[in-house]
Amino acid sequence: MPLTPYTGPFGRPELQHLLRRSLFGASPADLEHFAGMSLEQVIDELLTFTNNTTPPVKSYAVNGDPNAIDPAVLFGSTWVDTPRNPPDDPDVIQERIASWATWWAQQLTRQDRNMREKLTLFWHNHMPTQLSVVFNSEALYRMNQLLRTNCGGNFRSLIHDVTLEPAMLIYLNGQFNVSFAPDENYGRELLELFTLGQGSGYTEADVQAAARVLTGWGIQEEVGGNPTLPTTIFRPLFHTTTDKQFSAFFNNTLITGQSGPNAGETELNALLDMILANDQCAIHICRELYHFFVHGEIAPEVETDVIQSLADLFRQNVDAPDQMLTVLRALLTSEHFFSADVRGCMIKSPADLLIGDVRMFGFPLPDPGLTEADHLVHLEIFFLVNYAGQNLAEPPNVAGWPAYYLHPSYDQLWLDTATYPARNNVLVNVVYGTIDTPSDTVLPSNADLTFRLDLVAFTQQLQNPSDPNQLIDQLVELLYVNPISAAVKQQLKQSYLLFGQSNDIYWSDAYELYITDPNTTSMTAQLVPDILRWLVGDMQKAAERHLF
């Protein structure tokens, strides 16, 4: 049964709900851009994208000398297509990984108005790799780009490529899965986490059979004694050539053993065809989408009316190149997605929390041409997301972040006695903090720069910010998913904008005077930037800031 489409009003509240879930934050510019569009027009734009990213570049040095590390790569040039030489130099690996991490943060903060980056993170959570295990800069970058390129495409094609990606072969021991010592690690996670779901009905014998199907794949990083980029290879001599029998859960499928150079690809395709033919695969993927974009808990009626309907659509489009976009469109344009129960029901992930604030407030970022400054600022942003409880490069395990799968707490797991104060510190840091570049940069133009949020510039994007009532209303709308009481708004206005007075003119005159002349000698007007910082800093501390 098709999912019931949304037919209610599509005004600013509905737009904000959609953008908060599909982007990292919704800025005033985002809201203005989509204002007046229909739901279908907004969805069309959100779901239209390509992977047009440019690769990370070398912006690292030692004591100001870029040739002291990774000399094979010119400063300011990309390293992704240059093999490491020697390949096991941990300092070079670490610098390249840091470059990749900051590059990823750049994609997040500078995302276009589409879902590419949110979907990339969704798949990274669903089929994760961990930096500390892979510890291969080129492989990590390749995996991240694979997810980005295929995030809205065909699931079978994606899981095929993920299976053979060097980062995954390293992470789950696929490179060590050989005929004389089958390793079940990837075969188990392929069935349990990536396609069918835990407890769906497959057997231990199915895991063992899948492992034998996948024997023989490896990674090559050297040819003739010369280092190369990590490349997936198939080694026929290490492949199990006997037949692989699967259980009744898979209709007693027998995958005929193959030999020769094409054996691995032939059997892998047979394995994926068998998995995709099982109804549980569609259900599992659609549940994962729901957990990530809508809510953790899936009520029985939601399972029937939403998940099963999405799964039907998934199966109907099993061969479509835009299969996942088709399923996602149905979910995000459904009556259920816009229901009152779904709005404001989730706790933000640290990425949603911090990246959302960076984008919403327009925290100043270096010009991309300032490669060192851009690297340093985004490395700080990457670390702040980590500090708030989500190391993007290091999901806690192969299941991803517990907030997306662990019943019954789900997203409540983002908050505990350690992460709550850290999250609050991050929110306040966006308002009060600065990011500075050092003096010893390679390029003088990148040295001694300071980046700090300009709240006066931010308020200039709002409607009539010199009116304290309108200013408070708009800040509440942007910062909180649910409204706050008139009494609290009055308290905020009087305590901060009116200097403890009762007449609105105290703020209006001061704000307008400061905007007209930022160098004014009026002591009251000079306080405008600080007052805005105090006001927003206080609003950042509210528990409501963690919901979306």
* Start-to-end CA span in the chain (Å): 29
Residue 5 in domain: no
| 316 shares a domain with 422 | no
Q: In terms of domains, do 367 and 314 share one?
A: no
Residues 6+ apart with CB under 8 A from 209: 244, 245, 246, 255
Q: What is the structure's pLDDT at 499?
A: 84
Q: Which of 79, 26, 104 is CA-nearest to residue 374? A: 104
Is 211 among the domain residues? Answer: yes
Looking at the structure, tell me whether residues 360 and 314 fall in a common domain.
no
Stretches in the chain below the pLDDT threshold 70: 1
Domain contains 340 = no
**By the 8 A CB rule, do 234 and 266 touch?**
no
Whether 361 and 281 share a structural domain:
no
d(Cα 391, Cα 533) in Å, to the nearest integer? 28
Q: Which residues pair with 218 in a beta bridge?
A: 233
Task: Say if residue 327 is in the same domain as residue 373.
Answer: no
- Alpha carbon of 348 to those of 245, 252, 436: distances in Å? 44, 43, 27
Report if residue 338 sits inside a domain: no
The pLDDT value given to residue 463: 97
- The number of beta carbons lying within 10 Å of the beta carbon of residue 131 is 20
R_g (Cα) of the chain, nearest Å:
26
Six token digits for residue 352: 């949603």
User: Do residue 472 and residue 417 come from a single domain?
Assistant: no
Provide the token pair at 499. Answer: 């200097």
Same domain, 278 and 328: yes
Per-residue pLDDT at 79: 98
Single out the residue in 452, 477, 511 at which a domain terminates.
452
Domain for residue 344, yes or no? no
Q: In whole angstroms, what is the distance from residue 143 CA to residue 172 CA?
A: 14
Strands 434-436 and 254-255: unpaired
**Which of these three, 452, 478, 502, is where a domain ends?**
452
Q: How high is the pLDDT of residue 1?
A: 65
Residue 480 in domain: yes
Residue 347 belongs to a domain? no
Q: How far apart are CA 21 and CA 387, in angstroms?
A: 22
Residues 470 and 495: their CA atoms lie apart, in Å, by 16
Domain identity same for 289 and 394: no
> Which helix (H) or strand (E) covers residue 491, if one does?
helix 486-492
Shared domain for 207 and 247, answered yes or no, is yes
The helix/strand count (H/E) of the chain reads as 25, 6
- Classify 178 as helix, strand or coil: strand
Name which of 294, 393, 301 is nearest 337 in CA terms: 294
Is residue 231 assigned to a domain? yes
**Of 452, 484, 507, the domain-final residue:** 452
Q: Which domain holds residue 371?
A: 355-452
Number of domains in the chain: 3
Dihedral of CA atoms 368, 373, 379, 384 in degrees, nearest 10, equals: -100
Beta bridge mates, 231: 220
**Residues 315, 361 within the same domain:** no
pLDDT value at position 460? 98
Q: Of 414, 537, 396, which Cα lies nearest the Cα of 475?
A: 537
How many CA atoms lie less than 13 Å away from 498 in the CB half-sphere?
Answer: 17
Query: Do 79 and 218 have their domain in common?
Result: yes
The pLDDT, as a whole number, for residue 36 is 97
Separation of alpha carbons 237 and 230, rounded Å: 21
Question: Cβ-count burial of 4 within 10 angstroms (0-12 exposed, 13-18 middle, 19+ buried)?
Answer: middle
Rounded to 10 degrees, the C-alpha dihedral 537/541/542/547 comes to 100
Q: Which residue, among 236, 289, 298, 223, has the nearest Cα to 262 in the 3D structure?
A: 236
Q: Are residues 317 and 385 in the same domain?
A: no
